[in-house]
Amino acid sequence: MNVFVLNAGSSSFKAAYFAQRADIVDSDEPAWSGEIRWGSDAPERSELTWRTPTESGSGHCSIGDHERAAALLFETAIEHASIAPDIIAHRVVHGLDEAEPAIVDSRVLAKILAAAELAPLHNRAALAGIDAGRAAFAEVPQAAVFDTAFHTTLPREAAAYAGPYDWFAREGYRRYGFHGISHRYCARRTATILGLNLDRISIVSAHLGNGCSLAAIAGGRSVDTTMGFTPLEGLMMGSRSGSVDPGLLLYLIRTGRASAAELERILNEESGIKGISGISEDAREVLAAAASGNDRAVFAVDLFVHRLIAGIAAMAAATNGIDVLAFTGGIGEHAAEIRNRVCTGLAFLGVAAPTADARATGDREIGPVNAAVRVVVIEAHEEVAIAIDAQHLLVRAS
């Protein structure tokens, strides 16, 4: 079976092609992968990169929207990998109450569009990818794999907000949670590399990138998470604030200091690591500035670590203690300084300081094997997790 995966970010599009696989597994590498990244200030300087097991390429292109980015990825994959997908699968950030992957039809399209108000950049990007898939391969079925689906197992006390009862019971105002594809993949890989039974362990998965979230995972099921009704709640992120006292936001609106539209922009684009440091949303740049003594960069890193330690401790409480702490995502995989500080701050939970070489790569255990809480780093591979779901979906439908 051949599966083509599209993974839309707010200003990027990743793709991967898994070819001639009878049964795709978590450790599989794609036959072709590609990515387009662009900046809002200079879309004409977008960068396209792609690779196969034997060759790679890169170049600049003029891309400022997701549909053209997805179309270019299809063109590049056709040219360099002669793709012939049996199914095209899409990461969809918000699926409301959808608990399983689904073949894209009119009902699923309506659900993705309905949820776009809560995750406008990501869901509309997924719809653009679906349009591009239809244009490139009109007869090939498409699948939607929802980031929120993994968190539909949250117990109601973890999912509900303490507003009026009808908010939760009737209106659907609840914690949906996000990064579910990554958290689910991370949990599976963690159990595999440690030789543990996923059904019998508790894990806190820390997905740390431009977007950041935690998941408390017990027996392979999400029982608590930090993101909520939208991807804005929870941890401090690259340019997103994470949780803020709603009273502060009401005060800013009531006193005319900011409109709702201005707050939406500020909280999503001008806050977090970028807003505190005044440098960048890229943690690598901010860590470098902090190392050189930049006070605001130091403050941004300190605040990020403080919020992360507190969040992991809260997730550990949701599972009555944990067996494994797993780091994933760009920061989780590469920022050894942050991992070390977090583990040190969680010593009271039984987390030991990492002992592995900080320059190592790949899925690996970085703490002592005899620690009360083992610590691992898992490379984020959402595309392979999406491909597995799409393959199973197509088999069931055939």
- Catalytically active residues are 147
Residue 106 structure tokens = 């009119």
**Cα 325 from Cα 336, distance rounded (Å):** 14
Give which of 290, 306, 304 is closest to 345, Cα–Cα.
306
SS3 324: strand
User: For residues 363 and 376, is the Cβ–Cβ distance under 8 A?
Assistant: yes
DSSP 346: T
**Cα 16 from Cα 77, distance rounded (Å):** 9
**Helix, strand, coil shares of the chain as percentages rounded to 5?**
45, 20, 35
**Cα 151 from Cα 94, distance rounded (Å):** 11
User: For residues 74 and 67, is the Cβ–Cβ distance under 8 A?
Assistant: no
**Cα 289 from Cα 36, distance rounded (Å):** 27
